[in-house]
Structure 1
């Protein structure tokens, strides 16, 4: 029964969320799409960065690539064929980037992934201005908002299912060893580069698909829109708050923070970036392992405290007897 707990819970959540488009108006559906997009992004990001502890800021590079793939092929292929093409583009790009960068670690990897997104944005800007003669592209695809919601829901569900499957097998064990100490992992016989490349590719394909699925909602895309670095930082903050190393951590971080950021961006548009930076610092210092890990620690503390009290009570009763 323990092995079926996650599939049962996931199926119940999916059944409930599938009813959302039926009971909300257009504004509510727009919010639901926004929440689900970050749930999918965070769950996909955590597939690689959670267990390996590699902090990637390349999220927007892949999601933006997915959006631009849709913009480039919207007039030539059906939407679902475009999604397949976007997944292939994301996979190839992840292999190229992974082979070139996954030997880096720590701050060097963070800097490179951040620079990767900016490099892609600048290259596309140059291409649009100098080759295509325009700065952006219009997207006219016959896709309804509720379909976008269901596609994002499916991506998030598959990402969670992959993480659950991975944690139960040899791949999950290998990745956890890599996250603890790569040198130990290499001496234990783990092909560190191959394992990291596999996870990075899977994670990147899901992130690319999220960008591709969301593209019709924008109607008009340009590099400054789809390659906004805020997307990478929001994904990082949400995943870290919930706990990237936990299965449900990214979901628990994405849902409340999305609504908080929506409220902050509406109330404090001129100070939003400052507040975002302060929140990031606060999360790193207060919840280094995530909220779920903190709750687990508190729960274990309470259980141990109760056990100690019961033990002391039993000892006292034996002495009285």
Structure 2
């Protein structure tokens, strides 16, 4: 084992230990910030698990996130919390399989439009059901789960998501997804089962996003569709993944940390201009950092480390010498 690998391992272990012990040394506000950061890091990494290699831009993040929260709101007081999380994962899996089988043949802007419409459709269906069947718009959640437990659950989910993303990137399915993202015609002629491969990763991403919503549901005493199906969640997840680099293992998480803190500051200080700033930031990232900030930093580091070639001497200079 080289010294560089050993040093990286020690640094990673130190960071993990600091993250695990953070709730023991933070106040309520700091712990809330950490829950938001880890939550969005998980969402961005799960989004990039499918959309990164395939280049399928999905805006359905909030649909699965909201479903997870509502499963907890419905079953939270009748089942143990562990079984509620399992139920949320199964609901997310079922919806992802149905949606994936129906839509993963779409591509480009058609897939983007459909996923955005899917999120709105789910929100409207839940709203209709709550008003016409249960007779109320939202639900109360009273569970003995505090911020520390929510944070540790999210941290475990984030670690599992990163591990899955690392494993997929070094597996045959990860290579197949990259080929699909580059050219589906070539992938089909290479013998790759395109539909099954895309469906598997889309379902895995959806289950993780659903669990993220289910874990964070106890933070809200009262949930309703406008809260848990807020389309801003989808756009923030997308921007964070693109900023860090959706095709990099650590990219989405690295993009989530600074942007979440920035968005918290903007929403507190510029609440009326927040959507405009969000849109401008999205445009800037797409045009200035299309491959993410990590790829940009690596490119700068590579250029700085490459020695400049000496300019060839002109013929007159050689004669003078």
TM norm. shorter chain > 0.5: yes
| Inter-partner Cα distance in structure 1 for 2:12 and 2:64 | 26
Quote the offset at 1:10 in angstroms.
4.8
Give the drift of 1:113.
Answer: 0.4
| Whole-Å separation in 1 of the counterparts to 2:17 and 2:309 | 42
Find the aligned partners of 1:180 and 1:12 in 2 and give their Cα distance: 37
Is the counterpart of residue 27 in structure 1 residue 40 in structure 2? no
After TM superposition, list the pairs within 5 Å mapping 1:247-258 onto structure 2: 247-258=249-260
Length-normalised TM-score, structure 1: 0.93
Post-superposition Cα deviations, 1:247-276, rounded to whole Å, max 9, x if no partner, equal 100011000000000000011101110110
Provide structure 1 residue ranges, at least 5 long, that are not aligned to the other structure: 313-321
**For 1:65 and 1:236, how far apart are their aligned partners in 2?**
19
- The question of whether the paired residues in 2 share the 8 Å contact of 1:10 and 1:157 is answered with no
1:24 Cα offset (Å)? 0.6
- After superposition, the C-alpha distances for 1:113-156 in whole angstroms (9 at most, x for unaligned) are 00000000001111111110000000011111111001111111
- The answer as to whether partners of 1:148 and 1:213 remain within 8 angstroms in 2 is yes
Query: 2:66 matched to 1:64?
Result: yes
Give the corresponding residue for 1:73. Answer: 75
2:49 to 26, 47, 52: 47
Q: CA deviation at 1:308?
A: 3.4
Q: Secondary structure at the match of 1:19?
A: helix
Aligned positions of 1:1-321 closer than 5 A: 1=1, 10-304=12-306, 306=307, 308=309
Residue segments in structure 2 that go unaligned for 5+ positions in a row: 313-321
CA-based RMSD of the aligned residues comes to 1.7
**Residues 221, 24 of structure 1: alpha-carbon distance in 2 compared, 3 angstrom cutoff:** same
Instruction: Return the alpha-carbon distance in structure 2 between the equivalents of residues 179 and 10 of structure 1.
Output: 31
Matched residue, 2:315: none
Q: What's the offset of the Cα at 1:9?
A: 5.8
Distance 1:10 1:97 in 2: 37
- CA pair 111-150 structure 1, distance change in 2 beyond 3 A: same
Normalization by structure 2: what TM-score?
0.93
The structural deviation recorded for 1:8 is 6.4
Q: CA deviation at 1:14?
A: 2.0
For residue 19 of structure 1, report the CA deviation from its aligned partner: 1.1
Mapped to 1, the partners of 2:293 and 2:204 lie a distance apart of 26
Distance 2:248 2:56 in 1: 15
Q: Secondary structure of 2:309's match?
A: helix
Task: Give the number of equivalent residue pairs.
Answer: 310
